[in-house]
A and B are shown apart, each in its own frame.
Chain A
Amino acid sequence: MTTILPECDIPIPQRKPHIVCHEPGNMVLPMCNVQTVPGDMTERGCTFAGCRGVVGGPVKDAIQLVHGPIGCAYYTWGTRRNLSDTKLHRKYCFSTDLTEESVIYGGAKKLLNSIIESHELFPEGKAVFVYSTCVVGLIGDDTDAICKQAQEKIGIPVIPFHCEGFRGVSQSLGHHIANRTLFEKVVGTEEPEETTPYDMCIVGEFNIDGDAWIVKPLFERMGVRVLSVFTGNASYSDIPPMHRAKLNIVQCQRSSTYIAKMIQDKYGVPYINVSLFGMAQTAEALRDVGKFFHLEENAEKVIAEELALYQSRIDHYRKKLEGKKCFIYQGAPRAWHWMEPMRELGIETILTATTFGHKDDYEKIMEKAKPGHICIDNPNALEIEEYLVKLKPDFFIGGLKEKYLTYKLGIPFINGHSYEEGPYAGFEGFVNFAKDIDVAVNSPVWKFINQPLEVK
């Protein structure tokens, strides 16, 4: 048997299939993408979070209007570090702020007025994205009809996202809903002004702490024209012409393969999966794209230039980090995106976990895992604490909610969701990543953990 029941889960044995220890030749994947055990102190969020927070939210010139009571809008206001070169989407929070009256009589009129007013106050908004929260789905507002009516009135696209938080089992369905909505309602509605044989979209790149600003120029230097980034630092107008790309590359393969596949199926645009993290994986992505566009030499040139700039710095950090062991707990793909880059720094990942991974995510983890590697699906706070105490990694790459628990246990931590001092993608970003790990692991602050105060 390769599934494990940690001590904290003895009262909830249904968690056992979600936790596996890797044995070579006997690949068992954790059970995944199913309902959370109620009350297990899950770290998961909701469908709204995946739709508004992850995929729709980064579109910088869309008015991001949350239809529902105030909380959901507030909590997604400028939180995820999906940067852009304009301010609208992070500086402003738009909500219909539904109250009891709307719950009883419906929120249709308030939504319609809110869309019109937002447009009047912020004419720089090129579209309005309307996100439905739990209560809207329950009271049955016809947001499709309202958005259509509003669109006719204000003359810019008004896109309804049916992402009520209670739908699905995690954020994951929200990604899918955002992809499908943007594909069905936006992609193909406009043709690009011009096309070239080298047009490509970078899909599933949300410009966390500036990642897109690092990776996009790499492809441009190769001679590729990046038609759109979906959706990091994207303008609304970047999305309609995505169907005219010659190739899509997919970075976040959990949240955004959907749209790449839909574009492939409908428009025949192929897509390839990439990992734009770490030196080797980034180089491989450039080579794959080079091969597709017959720009192999250009790819090699860019890779050589980048390695000349950054490899020595990675070597420097490797010397300081060699032999360390880490945990990686991310939404899903970054858990496996980062296993090989850690090895480039001489670090072995001894435990991975994902909040909303599907089977393909866990396959990718297990392909990279060494014997004894522990993999947890949808871990909860108690499991995380138990494994941190039991396995004592040298550092943990997780999200903000786990950060301070980890600190209290005396274990260094890196925020992999929003980063510490990113960007982390590409060659240059990997230097930042390595530096942050070095800072976390080698700071003198940790020495006091084992120096209790005693009378001498």
Chain B
Amino acid sequence: MARSVTINPPKMCQPMGAILAYMGVHGCVPLVHGSQGCSTYPRYNIARHFRESAEVAVSSLAEDAAVYGGAKNLTEAIKNVKSRINPALIGICTTCMSETIGDDVKLISKKAIAPDDTMKIIPASTPSYVGTHLTGYDNAMRALVETLAVKGKPNNKINIITGIINPGDIREIKNMLRIMNVKNIFLSDISETLDTPIMPGGHKPLLPDGGTEPADIIDSANSLGTIAICRTAGSAATYLQNKFKVPAVLAPAPIGVVNNDRFVQNISKLSGAPIPDEIKKDRGRLIDSMVDVHHYMYGRKVAIFGDPDIVSAIVRFCAEAGMNPTVAMTATKHKDFAPDIKAVNTEYKTDTQILEGTDLYEFHKVVEAQGAELILGNSKGKDVADDEGVPLVRFGFPVYDRVGVYRYSIMGYNGSIYLLDQMTNAILDHKYDPNKLHQ
């Protein structure tokens, strides 16, 4: 992309991702060290995607901080969060503002509480002018592990770093681990914290139930291995490997046949657990679902945008199902994105155009040139799909113009079935005379 101006970017800034990582930890209050918009905008985004409230503190930096630094505000913010909520953790994310004025967040936060305080402060450096929301997630997750993980006795568990995926995805992956009888630590786990029930009498805890216990993050140094579902969130895995010799597995996201096989094999290898029949049957149902729809889906042109790990995994799955992925686009650059898709191109003789570090304006131009009968992406793809007169199957974050997307999984064998059914039904709705659908 030779432009200076970015038009319709499907990417957000680091604090957004960092807040999501922190929100998956039980008793953790995210604290944004910056201007008030830097907490309010991500909160808004979380509310509209998950249809849940997200309580986030902010140090409310103002003009005086630009001159004198933000230490006073951050110190006060930490004290106020502690005295009112007394959380187990405060997860700090920095911003453009605090990074540019050069606040030493580690030092300030250390001074803000007593050395023997039971509350821990996680300092993540997440300036918005570096990377994207995924960088922020990765930085916060690494900060959590770096601050908390301590070597102890082996725990016979597997760490799963989720990255930015949905509560439904996490539940499905947990289900697979349960079937395989593999104990686990999720880093982190928004499956309950951002999908909360309404309970009798409207009683709710101050901070949501669920999430990864801080004790489990401490214990993550003692696991059999770490699997990063999203490689963009993998630096905590690498840290655990380098520091505590916990093997890190950075592999494609479990979407489609081969990527799920690899995921299950990795779990089996790390844990020594055999692959149970129930998993094999789920796999068989995925293949059955692909066989059932291959007449409808063969050669269907699909254009996909989103976060790199998910997009490249979906590209492979679409190719497995006989579809024709014409465009694969991600705004966040990642070293594995292009090689993943080139490998699919070689294997399936497809010709997927790779767009990396670009925007939806560019995506749209390439979709126009390459053609698409289906767009896959988040709610920001609506206009491209409408302009092209094709359906949009929604996945990823944020999806705010449909309900429930966060509830369902597109991962695991079962989630892949769901994704394929969504794609097929969109094609059936859009392309088929109802008479042609009688069998």
Contacts and interface: CB of A to CB of B under 8 A. Distances in A.
Interface in A122-180: 133-135, 137-139, 165-170
A93 B230 CA distance: 27
Contact of A39 (B4, B13, B76, B101): B76
Given A12-B80, A45-B36, A94-B7, A408 B132 contact: no
A100 B130 contact: yes
A96 B196 contact: no
A403 B132 contact: no
A383 B38 CA distance: 21
B4 A42 contact: no
A79 interface: yes
B6 A70 contact: yes
Interface string A1-44: 00000001101100000000000000000000001111111111
Contacts of B38: 46, 71, 165
B265 interface: no
Max chain B Cβ within 10 angstroms of own Cβ: one of A38, A169, A407, A411: A38
A408 B204 contact: yes
A71 B35 contact: no
Interface residues of B, number: 74
A44 B8 contact: no
Contacts of A93: 7-9
Interface string B37-50: 11011111101100
Contact of B5 (A118, A400, A411): A118
Given A74-B9, A139-B100, A382-B84, A169 B62 contact: yes
Contacts of A449: 198, 200-202
A99 B6 CA distance: 12
Contacts of B63: 166-168
Contacts of B282: none
A72 interface: yes
A103 B129 contact: yes
Nearest to B39: A42
Contacts of B215: none
Contacts of B177: none
Interface string B50-62: 0111111111111
B15 interface: yes
A71 B96 CA distance: 10
B209 to A, nearest CB: 11
A95 B6 contact: yes
Contacts of A43: 40
A69 B97 contact: no
B5 A117 contact: yes
B184 interface: no
B12 A42 contact: no
B4 A410 contact: no
A404 B51 contact: yes
B145 interface: no
Nearest to A170: B36
B129 A100 contact: yes
A65 interface: yes
A172 B137 CA distance: 31
A97 B62 contact: no
Nearest to B380: A77
A68 interface: yes
B383 interface: yes
A114 B78 CA distance: 39
Interface string A97-118: 1111011000001100111011
Nearest to B84: A11
B128 interface: yes
A110 B2 CA distance: 12
Given A45-B40, A98-B129, A166-B62, A38 B200 contact: no
B13 A165 contact: no
A240 to B, nearest CB: 26
Contacts of B95: 134
B198 A45 contact: no
5 smallest A-B Cβ distances: which pairs? A410-B202, A71-B13, A39-B77, A46-B37, A11-B83
29 contacts: A37-B60, A40-B80, A42-B36, A42-B58, A43-B40, A48-B35, A69-B129, A70-B9, A70-B12, A71-B13, A71-B16, A74-B11, A79-B44, A94-B7, A96-B6, A100-B129, A115-B5, A134-B34, A134-B97, A135-B97, A400-B44, A401-B43, A401-B54, A403-B53, A407-B198, A408-B198, A408-B199, A409-B202, A449-B200
